[in-house]
Chain A
């Protein structure tokens, strides 16, 4: 007997799910531009595939990044993913012991214990092959169930999982979640009752079956439980594409796209759509997002923002008030390109049929042969202390330089880009690019981390781009500048536009470390000052909250000087913190006098 009516809900659900998933995958593939399709086909037979598969195992099953976040959380996700995966694999192998067919209907291994009782096998038998499978299947079931217990627990005690916030779900999600959570307890009960009536089962189901059948009419109960089990699977499969559980197939597709698509893939519609679906709503990002934690907008965090996107709702507020600080992206265990995703959503909201009317630089001076071209940046002009210090540093070092924006400049274009206006930003890029290259300089020095990032990532200048923190450190290493040793209390704010892991950010940290000769620890913050041009939130009120929280994280006292390396951070922090705020260049030069 290898068929019973109760397998239908499961089978229908599975077929439906497969159709939908294949259709989505196909859709993502079809939407790719031809060049990327070619790239993709080309890479399938390369190392990329090995890497992709390894990443799928590492992140999809083992959840390495989640483990790094928090062990309980990692275990919970792993027990579900790896446990279920192995249940399927092992179940399939086990079913082959009892079936002569090469291809079994998919429900057969799932409901194997209904069809095959094999009561000769002892519950704790490990030495025979069937006994081994019995044991392993029960063990895996227990493994998954342990994760389930943790998941239930997480709803109330998310703090234990290193999360201060846990995601809230909507109705469909809740039904899917309930059906998912029911699957394994129902399986346990169905198998246990069956074992109670007919014998068989492993150490868990057999023992539980005996206990249960002693107390309850197992012979009447086991069949309904198989129905319930099948039903919960069916419901879960049918709902899956419309809930966060779509992340299970989407994450695989996302990883494949990432490895196969080449560098340009990150700009494609498919990548965004797939990334959006790949979010498991694990909630890790909630605690990293300052707008969610310290601001008034919890829904800005990717977990909720993506939920809105999936539901086809482009909510203006949360699309626009993200700081693009990238902290969530660094933490996201799925590795979703969250910053680009937000920008992509902005592009959908931004009306761009009329293009910027970009002014040209006034006729640039004849090509001078300078070593360094100095681009202070628009906002740096409002922090003359920085300008003066950088100028002194340049003069003291004896380097030949040209100050490109002494009389003003054209914006680097990053602020424009961050509002979702790509073409307009391109015009600014072109204009600046020409002016910079016309100087013939070998090094481009800038004081603004926003410009720094933009020049580095979007300008293709083929000259060296340095932020002044890095520049000063180089001079100090070459003994061209003497660093002061300070005894005032210091704190360090790393501008997020400097990119937490970039050379400039590292240089800034090293530099500040060298300023103190006593081994006193300098408190450091990598939070956003809240003033980010990435955000279109209300600069004055929203920023206040974010900035106060950020500066509190490093200092509460009025006698601590906050060091930063960005004119915007400086202005913002100076306004909202108690103590003075100074640029690193200022600090270095201050005690020189």
Chain B
């Protein structure tokens, strides 16, 4: 029975969850990831929303569920391939091919490249950061700006590279709002005297405990929420960032000098998505992410019965969703390959 080989591309939360399930069911699994280590984006985060639990612990759990029998090909990128009836061939970046009977794509997302919004000065001014860099700061336990100073004023900017036609993205990345609120709270804990702002267009607090986190941020943590999108940034002599926004609720333009500007970058399809979609004959959605067969049913199926999708490769997702998707998709794939239902 286990003579059938299932390939999972992407060892992020979705891929790991799927590998765990399939291995427990006794299938022969190969896990491929372009990074040397497992975990995908999860390995870059410090504490998770909404409950501030440790990303490290979750990652360890997910990894521990993947038994040693699962063969791992790390540091190899899947760049193409083709799908035949009952077989899948994948092309790796060094030119080798790998063949399996079933495929689960869990290639996740890439973080939006903040350089593309030149007006925010990322990579131009010293003290403009992305939220991913801030997670690293939390992880390292040191919050300081490029000149080694502890910031006294911090501004988060929501929707960078999301909901912005100017960079060709109209969708909402879903997790950055709550991430921004969570990070603001963490900042406050580390820097009790700092002034912390969140600049937003809309706050999208859809998940369990999210809105409560927002309440706390306002009430307990004294975060100042300003409804207006920052649209211009400059740098002063001291390396501080001068930002311009409109405080839309008072209808007045606003100028503010901060020690740190943090960009809440959105999610975009991972690098090879378009290419993979092309070679496998999948469609992509208007957002460029892989499009499963159905929006409510069959959310992990593709037009090939033995190829499944899971996690953020189908669009912005939380960990909860990515892990769930990984598990569901792996079960469906197992059923398909081993003719459990017909």
Contact = CB atoms under 8 A, between A and B. Distances in A.
Contact between chain A and chain B defined by CB under 8 Å: yes
A384 B234 contact: yes
Contact of B124 (A382, A388, A540, A574): A388
B119 A383 contact: yes
B166 A382 contact: no
A455 to B, nearest CB: 23
Interface in B231-257: 232-235
Q: Which of A381, A383, A540 has the most CB of B within 10 A?
A: A381
Interface string A344-386: 0000000000000000000000000000000000000111110
Contacts of B225: none
B165 A385 contact: no
Interface in A525-557: 540
Given A382-B119, A384-B119, A575 B125 contact: no
A540 B119 contact: no
Contacts of B125: 384
Contact of A540 (B121, B165, B232): B165
B166 A384 contact: no
Contacts of B232: 381-382
A512 to B, nearest CB: 21
Interface in A370-409: 381-385, 387-388
Contacts of A381: 119, 232, 234
A575 B119 contact: no
Contact of B166 (A383, A387, A388, A575): A575
B118 interface: yes
Q: Which size bracket describes the interface of A in this complex? A: 10 to 19
A384 B233 contact: yes
B245 to A, nearest CB: 14
Interface in B193-245: 232-235
Contact of A382 (B118, B165, B235): B118
A387 B125 CA distance: 11
B165 A384 contact: no
B234 A385 contact: no
A320 B165 CA distance: 24
Nearest to A389: B124
Nearest to B231: A382
Contacts of A388: 124, 235
A575 B235 CA distance: 24
Interface in A565-593: 574-575
Contacts of B167: 575
Contacts of B168: 575
Contacts of B166: 575
Nearest to B166: A575
A384 B124 CA distance: 7
Contacts of B233: 384
B118 to A, nearest CB: 6
A383 B235 CA distance: 13
Q: Which of A384, A385, A574, A575 has the most CB of B within 10 A?
A: A384
Q: Which of A382, A387, A574 has the most CB of B within 10 A?
A: A382
Contacts of B165: 540
B160 to A, nearest CB: 15
Given A540-B165, A575-B166, A383 B234 contact: no
Contacts of A385: 118, 124
A411 to B, nearest CB: 15
Nearest to B167: A575
A515 B300 CA distance: 51
Nearest to A382: B119
Contacts of A382: 118-119, 232
B187 to A, nearest CB: 25
A378 to B, nearest CB: 10
A395 to B, nearest CB: 12
B168 to A, nearest CB: 8
Contacts of A387: 234
Contacts of B234: 381, 384, 387
Contacts of A384: 118-119, 121, 124-125, 233-235
Contacts of A575: 166-168
Interface string B150-167: 000000000000000111
Contacts of A383: 118-119
B255 to A, nearest CB: 9
Interface in B26-77: none
20 contacts: A381-B119, A381-B232, A381-B234, A382-B118, A382-B119, A382-B232, A383-B118, A383-B119, A384-B118, A384-B119, A384-B121, A384-B124, A384-B234, A384-B235, A385-B118, A387-B234, A388-B124, A388-B235, A574-B118, A575-B167
Interface of A: 381-385, 387-388, 540, 574-575
The 10 A-B pairs of least Cβ separation, nearest first, read A382-B119, A384-B121, A384-B124, A385-B124, A383-B118, A388-B124, A381-B232, A385-B118, A384-B118, A382-B232
Given A385-B118, A575-B167, 4 more contacts: A382-B232, A383-B119, A384-B119, A387-B234
